[in-house]
Structure 1
Amino acid sequence: MLEHLQKATGGALHLYGGYDEDDPAEVIPYREFPARILAYAEHFRRQGVGPGTRVLFPFETSAPVVLAFLALMQAGALPLSVKPLLLASPKPEYEAFLRRVAQEHAADRVLLTPGLATVDLPVTALTLPSTPPGTGLDVEGAQLRTPADDEPAFVQFSSGSTAFPKGIPVLHGRLRANLAMIARTDGRRPGERVSSWLPLYHDMGLVGGLLSCLFTDVDLLLSDPLSFLADCPGWWEQMGREQAVGTVIPNFAVDYSLKLLQAAGPERLEGLDLSRVRSIYLGSEPIDIPHLRAFSDLMAPAGLRRDVFMPCYGMAETVLLVSSRPPGSEIRVVDGPSGVPAISLGPPMPEFSLRLRGSDGKLCGERELGEIELAGGTLADGYLGTGRPLAGPDGFYRTGDTGFVDDGELFVTGRISDRIKVNGQSLFAVDFEQAIERLPFVSPGRTAVIQSDGRIVVLTALRREARADPEGCRTRLVEHLVSTLGVTVRPLDVHYLSSSQLLRTSSGKLRRRELAEQYAAGEFGRVD
């Protein structure tokens, strides 16, 4: 990774605080990165950082923090990329999170980012430079090292949807290999521009957004998640204005963009030109197929082609990418083994071996539902600090995801832990959640479906205008599930909650196991 920055010629990091056309970006050409990284690395060495030093790294979106991340790798230290203190997050809970990560992974230091100024730190603080160093150094003479393939580059963490996040050491060689997969999949070229607002502590934001651009000498238009949430239409306008050719987003961004752009009216799309966009990686969570189609229809007048969307599959355990639909090919949707439509996530990268195993322990054939198992490619050796290999004796890693293969392409249907068997069918919590959230009276992104004592339980939040008729909404919801999935849910098992009661991971995934435990313990009070 570092050696690619050494060769950079024309690319640059463009850091935005918002999407107003009159608000200029902070621009740092990649050719200046080596000098700045070396200056940051020297600043950290003076504080006792050296090869092997483990640094808790709350990855805020700023130029100093990005440079600090690269500088720690230059110094041979090991950054542990964790979520920063998020807006409105309880400080005691975050402090407990940092303490646990530091204790479980023997962290020596924690990077003192601006967001941690009032946080009780579990280990010694590592300070950022008081003034940005490196600008006056010899740019041409700055020489970054080339780390060995088997040297750890950084640690990223699993989503934590079913347990406390697990640390995955990313080796430099596997990082290079996965970044090469991304580059060849979307065909990016130096001089082009890619936009990202994803959090940098998440594998999609860090590897798919930041590092893939540094690796390929492609301009990165970088903003933070709050900017996107505050002005989602402005982000799409900036994509067009700056002639970005691609981005990487979760399904949430499609749902959110559809809602806000529909509400803004057609005049907000006037003059928007997205005809240069060539590739939009779409991953991290199940894709709502009707919403994707509706969004494609909405954005077609702006020149956004349907074939730019690239549904993909990946995970922190493989650095990132495992499979993806190539750009320029039509999105393929088929009925899965249970009859529910599923979207193709493309063929697996040839570096991986992929197979599926059924609940009976036998390997699956074409279109048979099973757990996805992976071997080879950029799969990690194991989780940090466990001493146990990630893969089994035969070299395959059980992902916990279920799906099927059709004509060589992968279709993911959900998590094993979220499987709901009804009348011999294998449905998944997300099938119910997506169906429910198409109802006009349900708040988008505010539904979780769990099983308790064999019953299907719906936890959802109503839109404000629908709360006057909770029983009517409950009846319509039950009827809707019968008509769409052929499943009957008892009205008594439909519960209305406040949105804050639906637990999520730092990357936004529902923590269904914890929700089921809370429901079984009677911790949810009805708000209807």
Structure 2
Amino acid sequence: MLEHVQRNHDTVPEHGLHLYEKFADPPETVLYREFPARIAAYAEHFRAHGIGPGTRVIVPFETSAAVILSFLALMEAGALPLSVKPLLPHSPKAGYEDFLGRVAGEFGAAAVLQTPSLATVDLPLARLPLPDPELRLPGARLRVPADDELAFVQFSSGSTSFPKGIPITQGRLRANLAMILGTDGRNPEDRVSSWLPLYHDMGLVGGLLSSFASGSDLLLAEPSTFLFDAFGWWAHMAREGVCGTVVPNFAVDYSLRLMRDLDREELAELDLSRLHVIYLGSEPINIRNLEEFLALMAPAGLRDDVFMPCYGMAETVLVVTSRPRAGRVRIVRSPSGLPAISVGPPMPGFTVRLRTEDGRVCRDGQLGEIELAGGTLADSYLDDPRPLTGTDGFYATGDIGFVDGGELFITGRISDRIKVNGQSLFAADFEQALEQLAFIRRVAVAQSGGRIVVLAEADRTARADPGGCRARIVEHLVHATGVTVRPEDVHFLRPGRLLRTSSGKLQRRAIVAAYERGDFTEARPRTEEPPAPAG
């Protein structure tokens, strides 16, 4: 990564990092030609505070120039940054203190980078102060780390257990970045936009580091900037001539919900014709919403082939499969009979196979657990001597899907599988169907005690007429999936009750446990509108 930064200094000195607090305001800009002098000086600052090769430093990855450059400087110093979520606004401080303490204890961190969000946090380890932003070492040249040197540690999503540390080597990082840039054909003149959190692999590797590797201008904002102004983000990309971005499926659903009532004339004022790559991943893709959004944005010049569904995970640095830029999105019927969208063929070096519940290797079109070998797959989790792969060299991902025509299709997680009359459906099949109902904000569907349970964060329509809305849910699921759910198994919750990971995925195991403990109570009627989803 450091050699990419040095090359950008030499070849694209007028490109750089542009940080936005609001999409309509001028950004804070750090040009790539400034990076080496600042990174080298920051590395000296860290060495003066006792940080050396192999020192483990927790980095609460806030979206700021100071933290981004400090992350790169820790790598320049040979230290090992542990990339974790920062303390988010309105999050319980005690829970975050416990989280940092557990990360420090389990992974042997010697210090934590003193980011602004930690000002009031009680920490169990030494604080490493941020460098003075004026520090420079003019003429500095950054080193080229060896392929087997650890670059940083990123963490699994934590949807089923405490996040696992995944050590990312410099060589595997270089290789995965090459896969990304080779797939989208990016060049230094292509401008990239991202608001994804930098502690998550999509934001860190897919948004930030891929832009540094290509030398492209990166227009970066915090996630809350998008959440408060989704239309403003699309207008910003049109105004700035953005060519590429990377988003989870949530961004399409959220944008559609907030923008579907806009006039065609208003949308026609945008020019999104230069936007030719939107990587789409992280969670099951809602095909119906995707098609509706493309139709909605057609007056703005958004291409109907702009979305590139992809599949990846922190254990592989990031990307495993993706639709090529020159291809078209394929939608076929899954073995359950519901539509499924292709996430493309495997990247070079990866071998993908699927196995049935009884251990047999799947044939094309047969549902099974996705297993990986080769490519940029990590050898093991941090400080865990056990290899990630089994004795046959394959890593069982816990994801379920099928292969058709050499392309992979994802249907859900093993833990999210719901069996009805011998047929395998997935929680996402039910959830995406229910999200078409206007009164549903967020919803989780799970199996408990043999019954399908619906836990829905709903608006005041459902709270005012719960019986009528339950009947609409039951009828809608029969029509969409062919499955009947009992009205008494549909529960309405206040917004914010459904537990999510740092990357926004539902923690279904924890949600089911909370439901079975009786932690969820019905939302009582009230008149005011609940707040918008927080991501």
TM-score between both structures, scaled by the size of structure 2: 0.96
**Are 1:306 and 1:330, in contact at CA under 8 Å, matched by a contact in 2?**
no
Residues 40 and 129, structure 1, Cα contact 8 Å, conserved in 2: yes
Counterpart of 2:135 in structure 1 is 133
- 1:437-456 to structure 2, matched below 5 A, reads 437-443=435-441, 446-456=442-452
The 3-state SS of whatever aligns with 2:39 is: helix
Amino acid at match of 1:52: G
Instruction: Deviation per CA, 1:89-120: give whole Å up to 9, x if none.
Output: 01111111111111110100000001111111
1:326-371 per-position Cα deviation (integer Å, ceiling 9, x unaligned):
1242211111001011000000112101100000110000000000
The equivalent residue for 2:2 is: 2
Cα shift at 1:216: 1.0
Identify the residue that residue 193 of structure 1 maps to in structure 2: 191
Question: Alignment RMSD, CA only?
Answer: 1.0
Distance in 2 between residues matched to 1:467 and 1:212, nearest whole Å: 45
Measured after TM superposition, the shift of residue 424 of structure 1 is 1.5
Q: Is the 8 A contact 1:198 1:225 kept in 2?
A: yes
Quick one: distance in 1 between partners of 2:362 and 2:466?
Answer: 44
**AA of the residue aligned to 2:20:** Y
Residue 488 of structure 1 corresponds to 484
CA distance in 1, matches of 2:226, 2:181: 25
Displacement of 1:264 after TM fit? 4.2
**Equivalent position to 1:81, from 71, 80, 83:** 83
Structural mapping, 1:138-217, within 5 Å: 138=138, 141-217=139-215
Aligned equivalent of 1:457:
453
1:12-27 pair list within 5 angstroms: 12-20=16-24, 23-27=25-29
The separation in 1 between residues aligned to 2:232 and 2:124, in whole angstroms, is 39
Q: Hey, what does 2:68 align to over in structure 1?
A: 66
Deviation digits for residues 7-32 of structure 1, max 9, x if unmatched?
11223111111111xx2111111122
CA distance in structure 2 between the aligned counterparts of 1:305 and 1:267, rounded to whole angstroms: 18
Query: Distance between the aligned counterparts of 2:332 and 2:466, measured in 1?
Result: 35
CA–CA separation in structure 1 for the residues paired with 2:484 and 2:190: 51
State the secondary structure of the residue aligned to 2:242: coil
Contact 1:245/1:279 (CA < 8 Å) preserved in 2?
yes
What is the distance in 2 between the residues matched to 1:350 and 1:200? 26
Contact 2:457 2:497 in 1 (8 A): no
Q: Deviation per CA, 1:421-463: give whole Å up to 9, x if none.
A: 10111000011111111112212xx100111111111000222
Is the 2:343–2:410 Cα contact (8 Å) retained in structure 1?
A: yes
**Does the 8 Å contact 2:458/2:495 carry over to 1?**
no
CA distance in 1, matches of 2:351, 2:132: 48
Which residue type is aligned with residue 186 of structure 1? Answer: D
| Distance in 2 of aligned mates of 1:265 and 1:100 | 50
Residue 526 of structure 1: aligned partner:
522
Amino acid in the other structure paired with 1:30: Y
Give, in whole Å, the separation in 2 of the partners of 1:209 and 1:483. Answer: 39
Give the 5 Å matches for 1:248-267: 248-267=246-265
Match status 1:244 vs 2:242:
yes
Partner of 2:92: 90
Aligned partner of 2:533 in structure 1 is none
Q: Which moved more, 1:35-44 or 1:323-332?
A: 323-332
Residues 124-133 or 201-210, more deviating:
124-133
* Partner of residue 306, structure 1: 304
2: CA distance, partners of 1:193 / 1:89: 33
Task: Please tell me whether residue 356 in structure 1 is matched to residue 359 in structure 2.
Answer: no
The one-letter code sitting in structure 1 at the alignment partner of 2:434 is I
CA contact (8 A) 2:18 2:217 kept: yes
Q: Supply the AA of the counterpart residue of 2:82.
A: L
What does residue range 469-488 of structure 1 map to in structure 2 within 5 Å?
Answer: 469-488=465-484
1:119 is paired with a residue of what secondary structure? coil
CA distance in 2, matches of 1:241, 1:169: 38
Equivalents in 2 of 1:399, 1:488: separation in Å?
Answer: 30
Shift of 1:267: 4.8
Q: Work out the CA distance in 1 between the residues paired with 2:180 and 2:447.
A: 37
Equivalences for residues 264-275 of structure 1 within 5 A:
264-275=262-273
Q: Give 1:109's aligned amino acid.
A: A
Residue type at the aligned position of 2:463:
R
What does the per-residue CA deviation read over 1:142-182, in whole Å, with 9 as the maximum and x for residues that have no partner?
A: 11111111111000000011111111000000000000000
SS of equivalent to 1:93 = helix
> Retained in 1: the 8 A contact 2:20–2:26?
yes
Letter in 2 for 1:319: V
Structure 1 residue runs of 4 or more that deviate by more than 4 Å after TM superposition: none
Distance 1:295 1:237 in 2: 15
Aligned to 1:343: 341
Give the counterpart letter for 1:196 in structure 2: S
String of CA shifts for 1:195-244, please: whole Å, max 9, x gaps: 00000000000000000011111111111101111111111111111111
The one-letter code sitting in structure 2 at the alignment partner of 1:223 is A
Question: Would the alpha carbon gap of residues 394 and 401 (structure 1) be closer, same or farther in structure 2, given more than 3 Å must change?
Answer: same
Question: Which amino acid is 1:499 matched to?
Answer: P
1:497 aligns with 2:488: no
**Contact 2:264 / 2:299 at 8 angstroms: preserved in 1?**
no
Q: For 2:251, what is the secondary structure of its paired residue?
A: helix
SS state at 2:260 partner: helix
Residue 82 of structure 1 aligns with an amino acid whose one-letter code is: V
Alpha-carbon distance in structure 1 between the residues aligned to 2:457 and 2:19 = 36
Match of 1:46 in 2: 48
Counterpart CA distance in 1 for 2:224 and 2:514 is 29
| 1:517 aligned onto 2:521 | no
TM-score by length of 1: 0.97
State the partner residue of 1:408: 406
Separation of aligned partners in 1, 2:61 and 2:510: 26
Task: Find the aligned partners of 1:160 and 1:54 in 2 and give their Cα distance.
Answer: 21
Secondary structure class of the residue paired with 1:439: coil
Deviations 1:22-81 (A, max 9, x none): x21111111221111000000111100000110011000000100000000000000000
CA contact (8 A) 1:64 1:132 kept: no
**Count of matched residue positions in the alignment of Structure 1 and Structure 2:** 520
User: Who is 1:111 aligned against?
Assistant: 113
How far apart, CA to CA, are the structure 2 residues paired with 1:182 and 1:149?
A: 18
State which drifts further: 59-68 or 267-276: 267-276
How far is 1:401 from its partner? Answer: 0.2
CA contact (8 A) 2:463 2:492 kept: no
User: Match for 2:16: what amino acid?
Assistant: A
- Identity in percent: 67
Mapped partners of 1:335, 1:358: distance in 2: 19
Contact 1:308–1:328 (8 Å) recurs in 2: no
* Aligned residue in 2 for 1:286: 284
Between the aligned partners of 1:268 and 1:457, the Cα distance in structure 2 is: 41
Structure 1 unaligned spans of 5+: none
Please tell me whether the aligned partners of residues 457 and 496 of structure 2 are also in contact (alpha carbons under 8 angstroms). no
